[in-house]
Structure 1
Amino acid sequence: MLKHTVLIAGIGTALPLAHAAGAADPSAITALEKITVTGSNLRATARAGANPVQVISAADIAKSGKSDLPDLLRSLSANSGNSFNEQFTGSFSAGTAGISLRGLGQRNTLILVNGKRVSNYATAQNLQETFVDLNSLPLRAVKRIEILKDGASAIYGSDAIAGVVNIILYPDYNGVETGITVGRDFATGQDEKTLRLLAGHGSLEEDGYNVWFAFDAQKRDRLDKSQVAWLKDGDFRGYPGGDLNRNVTNYYGTDPTNRFPRVSGPLADTDYATINPEKSGRVWSYNPADYSTLIPGIERYHAALRGTLKLNASTTAYAEFLFSSSRSQQIFGAPLTISSSLRAWDAKTQALVPISNVLPVGHPDNPNSTPTPVNATLFDLGTRYKSDTVLFRRLLAGLKGTTGNWDWDISGAYSDSRMREYATNFVNRYAFENLLKSGGYSFTDPAKNTRAVRDSLRLSTLRPAWYRIATLDATTGTELLELPAGPLGFAAGYQLRRESMNSRTSDAVETGSELRPALNIINGARTVQAAYAEVNVPVLRSLSLSGALRADHYSDFGNAFSPKLAIRYQPLDSLVLRGSVSRGFRAPSLPEITNSTGVSYGSVIDPLDPVTPNRSVGITHLTVANPNLQPERSTNANLGVVFSPTATTSVSLDYYRIRQSNIIGTESAQYIVRHPEQFPGRVVRDAQGKLVSISQQFVNLNRRTTSGIDADLKQVVSFGAAGKLVLAAQWSRLLSYREPQQAGGAPVEGAGNNALGSLPKWKGTSSLGWETAQWSSTLSWFHTGGYKQTVKDKDDTPDRVRSYNTFNLAASYKGFKRTTLTASIQNLTNRRPPWDPSSDGFDLTQADPRGRVFTIGVDYTFN
């Protein structure tokens, strides 16, 4: 049971939409339908509200030309940075997509479906972030999406520090619609196809029931770096701070110029100075772009089924089932390279053990009379590939109704995400050790290796994982009494939730068979109970106060308490002033606080590297959980104004400030390497002094403060029968984003640079649409501001990454009976992502490598 006081009082209730000039008339207000809007359990008219929300309707989705949820939500101005989609292929959650409001990461943005939680993805992003994979959610079943740009822990609990994205499905539907869309990026040859269906029957009022079914399918080709003209050669010497991107391999000892006597595979004879100006001599090298996937190939199917049954005049039963199946394929990487950093996993000690790369005396490839280490890429084993198969489900059932003056809703839900990752052409450690010892494998002349030898080295792996969540929710609300200024609204609720996660590694890793393993082992569960209440008090006809309190109890770390207060003041029919203050929290994720161990690979600039000091080098990270973690805490403040001088004009301006403490993370790997004396035993180097690995543990680190301004504009100009012009814009200005890079350090300003992840100060979306009875067309402009470079490992590295501007054009025609034709051009000007030498050419969190994409489609309505 809850160990703290049961809650009292209520929240900053519903959220404002555009206001009509005459909306203040009380008779007009009472005629409006009451709805529940994201951020509250109180039912209120759409015109009430104290917090900012952005609503994307099904019509808006259709006009955007977007084919899936991630692409649609990625363009939000509030999605300012530190968010990942399928371009993040070097991830334990490859093929997924999330959203990061306010640049605070996917873990601080809560995703809901119909106001209720769904399962997180089966594995963790960056070893610690649990998040909802947007790719698992349907698009055709969506009626609207509400984006609450304010902290909402007082209503929803953990993870809502930056805001909430509530995906709202159709409550009912009658009829049949189907459609197909095909698209192609002619610059790369990438094709995409989608199929959609929505069918429903029955009227809740007339028949006492409604049932509908939605289905959509999507297939998209894999896009490799070798397909993109400006990336495929890996030669960026003509760009500021750019160089020839080549991997040097196949040499003896630590000197790359002491190379093997003959070329093999894709290797080329290369002047070492073209790769590293500080070096000279000849080396063997290859182009890593030939082994890199930019966007995985995918095949996805989404299905949604919902039914409602009217039991009597005041009670309705409902149930819904969401299901998705997804498969993504990508190149994992080049064939394995044998080096001094070679490791395998020891399950007994839960540690990495070194594997020798030393040719013994007498080995056919050893020209010396002493044991000789080698650096060699096993090209004859072939490219390494990876595919992920993911199944997602959510079953929800409940009753809702009215008893007296009380509205109530009781529901239970189960949701899970199951992933199976398959990888091929990895290397068997035991076969490798035997062949190294016996001399049965030739590193210098792979043509001598028989098929049997190669097959003995090849290793295929399977990594399973799942995340589960079961919830029981109960809410109730009423108007307690009629005050002179209006009704006193009250709502309360209770939630019981069980979360569990089991992300395992492959049997090959557990037995120590896989060379250079990457693993993210997580096994934990917890129970959460919460009680919450909210109230809305109309002080005057023009002034209302609201508040909420929520108490959560977690079985692992303890308690969390989240209050919120808000005010809404409407001195004029056309003017609304609003503000709120609240406290929020993010519970430590299961990977952070439970039994978990992660081994991953990255790069740092090593000032002590014996071969290339002060240049980027590869490194192994060993990361473990911490059962003593405390939740991240936040204080949120928002202040805004909405001006609606006419029924067709709306302008809003909102300021936000979020302060977080107890941020959970690990110390900067770069800082650890530069200050090893502060972290004894955490940095491991080999006998030659090359950096091998860094050990890290999740800890509560520092504080983070961010602030900014959101602007929203909508203007409609009617030309009568000729149609109407619709202008819309949403822009965000990041004012500050301050956070230390290590425990106890001074705060670093990240706004407008890439010190804390790329965080441009400006991001905006503007659109101009023309609508008639038969035609609809929309031109959209997406702007991402430039930002400063903070990491410079070369003197000619540019000071800034330039801004990124793309345009989309979408049109539809309804002149044929029951048929709608659609066409769109994404990236109309074929804009290339801005050059960013710190991110392998461009920043995948901000830009898209695809060129101009043409899409055409047709939809047909049977009813």
Structure 2
Amino acid sequence: MFQKTKISAALIVAFGGGGALGVLPAHAQDSSVQRVEVTGSAIKRVDAEGALPVQVINREAIQRSGATSVTDLIQRLPAMQGATTESASVGGGGGGFSGASVHNIGETRTLVLLNGRRLAQFGGQTLTGFGAAIDLNTLPLSAIERVEVLATGASSLYGSDAIAGVVNFITRRNSTEGDLTLGASKPQKGGAEEKRFSLSKGFGSLEEDGFNVFFAIGADKRDPLNATQREASKTGVINFNHNGKRYQAFLGSPSAIPGNVLDDDGDIVSPYFLANGSCAPGNVRSTDPATGKTACYFDFVAALEIFPERERQQAMVSGDLKLGQNHTLFADVLLSRTESTGIIAPVPGSISIPRSSPLYDQYLTPVSGMQGSTFTQDTTAFYRVADLGRRADKNKSEFSNGVIGVRGVFGEWDYETGLSYSKSDFKNDISGYPGALALSRLRSSGLLNPFVGPGEMPAESLAAVRNIVYNGYWDGGTSELASLDGRVSRSLMNLAGGPLQMALGVNYYQEKFQGKPSLFAQAKLADPVAGTLCDPDSADPNLQCDQRFGDAAAIIPYSADRKAWGVFTEVVAPVTKTLELTGSVRYDDYSDFGSTTNGKLMMKWRPTTGLALRGSLGTGFKAPTVPQLKAAPQSFGVTSSPYDCTPELQAVATSLNAQCQPRGRQYDVVAGGNPKLKPEKSRQAHVGMVFEPVQAMSVGVDWWWVGIKDAFGQISEQEAFDNPQRYPGAWTTQRDIATGIDFLAYNQANLNLGKAYYSGIDFDVQGRYNTPIGRLGGRLVATYMLAEKVQLQEGGQYFNPVGVNEPSLSYVTFRWQGRASAELQTGKWLNSLAANFKSGYRDAIASVEVLGPNDANTGEFEDVQLKIKNYVTWDWQTQYALNSRLTFTLGVLNLTDTKVPLTLAEGGAGKGQMFGYDDRYHDIRGRTYYVNASFKF
């Protein structure tokens, strides 16, 4: 294994790595050698095996993985946990973003590169730091030659903010091969069907013709998947068995149709139920165990599209031109566009019902006194405008990136310099939202009746409601990055083990971010549909500033920028034939955060043939994003779950002269920048080995540790609502303009929370064996999390989510995560089988209702904590090469149609509105067939 080989073998063998999703071919032994550069080092070398654990996924492994996009490829890697999935766009504010997170340390701490260079962050990033990373949807899979994943951080070459690690995408170039691939995927149970196409071709030989141009284009489209198309997601009412008893869990909304109201005691009840003894269709009875009063909750889960409709188009062109014998001019251009649509239930909200209203006498007075509810005062109706249809968030992301530079050899120096610019532009269009004041005026005029069911609204009323619905641009943002870099490397002198090598580098970049809310989102319109500007100082009620019905929204536009420059040096010293030491130092200077110096020490030791030991120590530094620092406080949606008004929460509300939300209602959220944020500082360490007991087998094991001080974040909403008086800064107020009530609101401020520690072990075992019927290969890649400890207050308690959905963090970290695969090459056939596994965990504690005989509701509630079992799915793929040009691929994902496990978690970071399964961790599509046909020319 430890031989000098060509680049293709050197990169694969060096780090115990081939494709983390498939088994690579046996390594060809070749006497020719090349100097190559790998992720994590600025020095080109003949022997690419270094001190850092880099996994390399080459093009063949990508094609055999079954991945249909860069997002699928990266998020399936065992070392990846905690990344945002597309399902977060289903009511979770994801904006269509998908990222990479090494070891659950975070997307914002995982540096994603294209050909070793930074890219502009997602234009839809939020004030809290969400999305302040690279959207993987922007990168074209058809243009990727290989992916290098450095699973330890603080690379001096790319920046000390790479705390968790680096994912470097290397694109294809200097190739004349052409490839046309068509493909489709179809889940067996329907929905989420995909079609895709890619075309790539190169022209000219850099060595023979002095130039090469390579282009790749691709497009794919996926149909939506409705919640009702899967048994596990079709409703928010879930009956289940646990420890010999029968229970019912339910997630619904008190904003129902017909609407619920507040009685004189401030309890939420259903006039429809009081009058009829049952709830209307589409609603579920919910009785408050404390009061015995009944409301009808809308089953919004059944109305979701759990996989958004999505379209992507991408194009990339790379060019290389020889400038004499030793110099090459290169240029790359990447353009991409992603559009996804998240569909959720019709818009809910609150409407005032004065005692003088005819609606009061028609619907409330007749039921006054029933089941302990009286109606003698002005009240509020919680209503869902179902006749408007479901709401839609159409997220559009456009990305562009251009690079031009020169690389080559000047005397004894290898050099490369480049100028790059990238831009991410995000737009969010909405539909199905009326203005809150406009809807309130319709109620006052008698045209809106919140106590009738779906389809019962008179034609005149329906037309009036539809006339006030806003459909169009809501919010967006633009992120830009311009950079200039240069680096050189050379051998200085010979040491006992080989040449002493050194690299020097410098880089400068400027990033800009601009938030672009619409006038409606800024609450500057009196008539959102007509676009009429409001006048908050006018006495005319028709010129009042309207806001979106259902959630307060007064988003403040802003722009901010940052400049930074850095220099680094790296030295590789082969002290002996068996021992190599590497040291690097980086200095960075930020226009808004001053300067910082960080370093890394690395060691590689080969005590005997077939064994290499490696290790590293380093420090890191990460400044907050510009929105985290400079954005003004503003409305930021609603909490992911409703919360009961405990005595402690009521005390907080009273101190702020506000009201708690009624039972079952979500709370408004406020967020903004914090100019007092301190940068994160980190330390990293790793120790590992690569062991080859026999020539056809290798074993890689790496222990890693990351410690972070002054970690950025927010108090999780679950922790804040469970302990409201522990976090006095977590509370503010928001006025509901439709009712004029000041409600308690959750202040999701950016904070330095304290310290965080992560540690684990990465495993990579692979083997090859020639059988009488063909070449057999096998591979196991896995990560074992030893610990994750996170503070939510400086000097406060540590929370550990490993193996448990920790309520104070609202997420789980899997103890084990991995993939075991085997493949058999027989003539023109290549068959592979892979098992993907996640260890079980303890679910969040949930209060659920005890069921009686025949699943009758009893009104008795108990706390239940489910134990989620280990989750294993199997993938099968068959490739047939008809000839050297045409290859057919047929595969099945989740071959055994393993069902998603039942969980009772209601919310959490990155989670959509789905209930009954956790969309962050388990794929509900079930058994999925795919086919690809590839023609090379």
User: Same fold by TM-score, threshold 0.5 exceeded?
Assistant: yes
C-alpha distance in structure 1 between counterparts of 2:579 and 2:31, whole Å: 17
From the superposition, tell whether residues 255 and 235 of structure 1 become closer, same or farther in structure 2 (CA, over 3 Å).
Answer: same
Q: Which amino acid aligns with 1:737?
A: E
Superposition deviation, residue 290 in structure 1: 2.9
Task: Please name the residue that 2:198 is paired with.
Answer: 196
SS at match of 1:43: coil
- Which of 761, 772, 779 is equivalent to 1:728? 779
C-alpha distance in structure 2 between counterparts of 1:83 and 1:646, whole Å: 40
C-alpha distance in structure 2 between counterparts of 1:714 and 1:106, whole Å: 29
- Which of 297, 304, 316 is equivalent to 2:316? 304
2:233 corresponds to 1:181? no
Superposition deviation, residue 389 in structure 1: 1.6
Q: Which amino acid aligns with 2:902?
A: W
From the superposition, tell whether residues 125 and 624 of structure 1 become closer, same or farther in structure 2 (CA, over 3 Å).
Answer: closer
C-alpha distance in structure 1 between counterparts of 2:261 and 2:477, whole Å: 40
Task: Please name the residue that 1:344 is paired with.
Answer: none
- Which of 340, 348, 354 is equivalent to 1:337? 348
2:457 corresponds to 1:447? yes
Superposition deviation, residue 814 in structure 1: 0.4
Contact 1:19/1:644 (<8 A) preserved: no
From the superposition, tell whether residues 612 and 452 of structure 1 become closer, same or farther in structure 2 (CA, over 3 Å).
Answer: closer
Superposition deviation, residue 357 in structure 1: 2.6
Superposition deviation, residue 536 in structure 1: 0.3
Q: Which amino acid aligns with 1:693?
A: A
Contact 2:677/2:751 (<8 A) preserved: yes
Post-superposition CA distance 1:191-224 (Å, at most 9, x none): 1111011111111110000001101111111112
- Which of 843, 847, 854 is equivalent to 1:789? 843
Q: Which amino acid aligns with 1:758?
A: V
2:357 corresponds to 1:362? yes
C-alpha distance in structure 1 between counterparts of 2:866 and 2:792, whole Å: 21
2:638 corresponds to 1:601? yes
Q: CA RMSD in A?
A: 2.8
Superposition deviation, residue 158 in structure 1: 4.6
Task: Please name the residue that 1:387 is paired with.
Answer: 394
Q: Percent identity?
A: 27
C-alpha distance in structure 2 between counterparts of 1:614 and 1:423, whole Å: 27
Query: Which deviates further from its counterpart, 782-791 or 411-420?
Result: 782-791
Task: Please name the residue that 1:166 is paired with.
Answer: 168
- Which of 561, 565, 568 is equivalent to 1:532? 568
SS at match of 1:101: coil
Task: Please name the residue that 2:430 is paired with.
Answer: 423
Superposition deviation, residue 363 in structure 1: 4.2
Task: Please name the residue that 1:669 is paired with.
Answer: 717
Post-superposition CA distance 1:746-778 (Å, at most 9, x none): 112222112132101100111011113311111
C-alpha distance in structure 1 between counterparts of 2:394 and 2:284, whole Å: 36
Post-superposition CA distance 1:828-849 (Å, at most 9, x none): 1111111110142122221111
From the superposition, tell whether residues 262 and 115 of structure 1 become closer, same or farther in structure 2 (CA, over 3 Å).
Answer: farther
Q: Which amino acid aligns with 1:68?
A: S
SS at match of 2:251: coil
1:652-801 superposed matches below 5 A: 652-680=700-728, 682-684=731-733, 692-719=744-771, 722-755=773-806, 756=809, 757-794=811-848, 795-801=862-868
Task: Please name the residue that 2:24 is paired with.
Answer: none
- Which of 628, 641, 661 is equivalent to 2:689? 641
Post-superposition CA distance 1:629-650 (Å, at most 9, x none): 1211110000001102344211
C-alpha distance in structure 2 between counterparts of 1:322 and 1:267, whole Å: 53
Superposition deviation, residue 187 in structure 1: 0.9
Superposition deviation, residue 596 in structure 1: 4.3
SS at match of 1:540: coil
Q: Which amino acid aligns with 1:670?
A: Q
Q: Which amino acid aligns with 2:588?
A: D
C-alpha distance in structure 2 between counterparts of 1:215 and 1:74, whole Å: 22
Contact 2:282/2:298 (<8 A) preserved: no
C-alpha distance in structure 2 between counterparts of 1:826 and 1:761, whole Å: 23
Superposition deviation, residue 360 in structure 1: 5.7
Superposition deviation, residue 464 in structure 1: 2.7
Task: Please name the residue that 2:285 is paired with.
Answer: 272
C-alpha distance in structure 2 between counterparts of 1:78 and 1:181, whole Å: 28
From the superposition, tell whether residues 775 and 384 of structure 1 become closer, same or farther in structure 2 (CA, over 3 Å).
Answer: same
Q: Which amino acid aligns with 1:246?
A: G
Task: Please name the residue that 1:553 is paired with.
Answer: 589
SS at match of 1:96: coil
Query: Which deviates further from its counterpart, 497-506 or 705-714?
Result: 497-506
Task: Please name the residue that 1:837 is paired with.
Answer: 904
From the superposition, tell whether residues 477 and 616 of structure 1 become closer, same or farther in structure 2 (CA, over 3 Å).
Answer: farther
Superposition deviation, residue 563 in structure 1: 0.4
SS at match of 2:189: coil
Task: Please name the residue that 2:521 is paired with.
Answer: 509
Q: Which amino acid aligns with 1:590?
A: V
Query: Which deviates further from its counterpart, 641-650 or 120-129?
Result: 120-129
SS at match of 1:444: coil
C-alpha distance in structure 2 between counterparts of 1:256 and 1:605, whole Å: 14
Contact 1:18/1:47 (<8 A) preserved: no
SS at match of 2:157: helix
Contact 2:14/2:48 (<8 A) preserved: yes
Superposition deviation, residue 119 in structure 1: 1.4
Superposition deviation, residue 126 in structure 1: 7.8
- Which of 479, 489, 492 is equivalent to 2:501? 489
1:112-151 superposed matches below 5 A: 112-124=113-125, 127-129=128-130, 130-151=132-153
From the superposition, tell whether residues 784 and 312 of structure 1 become closer, same or farther in structure 2 (CA, over 3 Å).
Answer: same
Task: Please name the residue that 2:405 is paired with.
Answer: 398
Task: Please name the residue that 1:9 is paired with.
Answer: none
Where structure 2 has 5 or more consecutive residues not aligned to the other structure, the ranges are 1-10, 19-28, 366-375, 525-544, 651-658, 849-861, 907-914
How does the TM-score come out when normalised to structure 2?
0.83
Contact 1:483/1:538 (<8 A) preserved: yes
Query: Which deviates further from its counterpart, 821-830 or 681-690?
Result: 681-690
Task: Please name the residue that 2:5 is paired with.
Answer: none
How does the TM-score come out when normalised to structure 1?
0.90
C-alpha distance in structure 2 between counterparts of 1:531 and 1:15, whole Å: 31
Superposition deviation, residue 584 in structure 1: 0.9
Q: Which amino acid aligns with 1:453?
A: A
SS at match of 1:645: strand
Contact 2:398/2:424 (<8 A) preserved: yes
Superposition deviation, residue 558 in structure 1: 1.7
2:217 corresponds to 1:211? no
C-alpha distance in structure 2 between counterparts of 1:604 and 1:441, whole Å: 26
From the superposition, tell whether residues 685 and 215 of structure 1 become closer, same or farther in structure 2 (CA, over 3 Å).
Answer: closer
Task: Please name the residue that 1:347 is paired with.
Answer: none
Aligned residues: 822
Where structure 1 has 5 or more consecutive residues not aligned to the other structure, the ranges are 1-12, 21-27, 340-355
C-alpha distance in structure 1 between counterparts of 2:33 and 2:874, whole Å: 37
C-alpha distance in structure 1 between counterparts of 2:17 and 2:794, whole Å: 47
SS at match of 2:437: helix
Superposition deviation, residue 802 in structure 1: 1.9
Q: Which amino acid aligns with 1:601?
A: V
SS at match of 1:844: coil
Q: Which amino acid aligns with 1:468?
A: E
Contact 2:552/2:734 (<8 A) preserved: no
C-alpha distance in structure 2 between counterparts of 1:457 and 1:178, whole Å: 48
C-alpha distance in structure 2 between counterparts of 1:119 and 1:86, whole Å: 23
Runs of 4 or more above 6 Å deviation? 609-616, 685-691
Q: Which amino acid aligns with 1:460?
A: N
Contact 1:14/1:48 (<8 A) preserved: no
Query: Which deviates further from its counterpart, 778-787 or 607-616?
Result: 607-616
1:806-825 superposed matches below 5 A: 806-816=873-883, 818-825=885-892
Task: Please name the residue that 2:924 is paired with.
Answer: 849
